[in-house]
């Protein structure tokens, strides 16, 4: 089987639970470290799927890898090779498919909720999870920008602070939140918290302190990773069909 390419844009924002899930299902993957100047592959046919992780930069920044990576995403979509994106990765998918990236009405940092939309795509992607939970998810956030829904895609999660939390287009999934997060990643990201909240006084209700983010982490991760298992399971079913 061809590997799934995982694009890392910052050393602290690796594949996390996504890699754990792939390993559990014996699916090969290859890390492409953009943060270490590895180049964007020229051919989509060398891979069975593409995963894009997060990062502190903006899709609107004039970085040399953004244009070729967006071209790769478009080629993968046109070739029927599934693409999945987390936070910055979701924004890259939106940008590649004709969406736009703009400042969020409110920065979201820490644990928050997202509500599943009532549509056919939501039911397809969420399955039994939707009925067992009532469509409410606890998710981890760390972003100050948001994506629009590109033409032909459908939103499957929303919240009052950032309406577009997830969208799907066929076998492709873009997320603004971080369902891949681990306890170690939360601790590492918390070191940058002072810089992230500079100028936010008082803190908005959508921004938590590191102490709040790290409280009761095992139980919170267990709940969120159940959602991740559901989403990733549907996504890899598209990978198997693309081989």
Mean pLDDT, the chain, rounded, equals 96
- pLDDT per position as a tens digit, 95-138: 999 999 999 999 999 999 999 999 999 999 999 999 999 999 99
Pair 72, 39: CB distance under 8 Å: no
Residues 6+ apart with CB under 8 A from 56: 10, 13, 192
What is the domain range of residue 26?
A: 4-241
Q: For the residues 226-232, what does the mean pLDDT come to? A: 98
Q: Which residues contact 59 (CB under 8 A, 6 or more apart)?
A: 66, 88, 91, 92, 95, 101, 145
Q: For the chain, list the strands marked E by DSSP.
A: 4-8, 29-33, 49-52, 83-86, 101-116, 136-147, 154-158, 166-169, 172-175
- Mean per-residue pLDDT, 14-27: 97
CATH code of the domain covering residue 55: 3.40.50.880
Distance CA 15, CA 87 (A): 12
In whole angstroms, what is the distance from residue 178 CA to residue 224 CA? 9
Is residue 127 helix, strand or coil? helix
Number of domains in the chain: 1
pLDDT: which is higher, 65 or 243: 65
Helix (H) or strand (E) holding 56: none
Instruction: Give residue 201's pLDDT.
Output: 87
pLDDT tens column, 189-200: 999 999 999 999
Token pair 């994506």 is found at: 147
Q: In this predicted model, what pLDDT tens digit does every residue of 41-79 receive, in sequence order?
A: 999 999 999 999 999 999 999 999 999 999 999 999 999
Q: What is the mean pLDDT of residues 212-239?
A: 96
Q: Does position 240 have pLDDT exceeding 80, yes or no?
A: no
Higher pLDDT, 241 or 108: 108
Angstrom distance (rounded) from CA 158 to CA 199: 27
For the stretch 218-227, what's the b/e string if a residue is b when 16 or more beta carbons lie within 10 angstroms of its beta carbon?
eebbeebbeb
* Amino acid 28: pLDDT: 96
- pLDDT tens across 150-193, in order? 999 999 999 999 999 999 999 999 999 999 999 999 999 999 99
Whether 40 contacts 69, CB under 8 Å: yes
Tell me the per-residue pLDDT of 88-100, one tens digit each, with 9 for 90 and over.
Answer: 999 999 999 999 9
What is the pLDDT confidence band of residue 203, given thresholds at 50, 70 and 90? very high
Give the pLDDT confidence score for residue 32 in this predicted structure: 98
Looking at residue 222, its pLDDT comes to 97
Largest Cα–Cα separation, the chain: 51
């Amino acid at each position: 089987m061809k590997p799934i390419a995982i694009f890392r844009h910052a050393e602290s924002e690796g594949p996390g639970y996504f890699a754990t899930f792939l390993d559990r299902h014996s699916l090969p993957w290859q890390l492409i470290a953009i943060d270490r100047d590895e180049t964007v592959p020229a051919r989509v046919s060398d891979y069975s799927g593409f995963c894009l992780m997060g990062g502190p930069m903006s899709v609107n920044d004039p970085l040399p890898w953004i244009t070729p990576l967006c071209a790769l995403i478009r080629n993968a979509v046109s070739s029927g090779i599934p693409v999945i994106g987390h936070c910055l990765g979701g924004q890259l998918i939106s940008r590649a498919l004709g969406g736009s990236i703009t400042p969020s009405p409110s920065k979201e940092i820490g644990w928050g909720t997202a509500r599943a939309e009532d549509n056919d795509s939501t039911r397809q992607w969420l399955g039994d999870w939707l009925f067992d939970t009532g469509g409410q998810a606890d998710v981890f956030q760390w972003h100050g920008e948001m994506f629009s829904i590109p033409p032909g895609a459908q939103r499957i999660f929303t919240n009052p602070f950032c309406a577009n939390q997830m969208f799907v287009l066929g076998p492709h999934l873009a997320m603004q939140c971080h369902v891949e997060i681990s306890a170690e990643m939360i601790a590492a990201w918390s070191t940058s918290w002072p810089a992230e909240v500079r100028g936010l006084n008082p803190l908005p209700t959508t921004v938590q302190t590191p102490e709040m983010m790290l409280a009761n982490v095992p139980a919170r991760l267990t709940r969120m990773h159940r959602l991740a298992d559901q989403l990733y399971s549907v996504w890899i079913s598209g990978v198997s069909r693309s081989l």
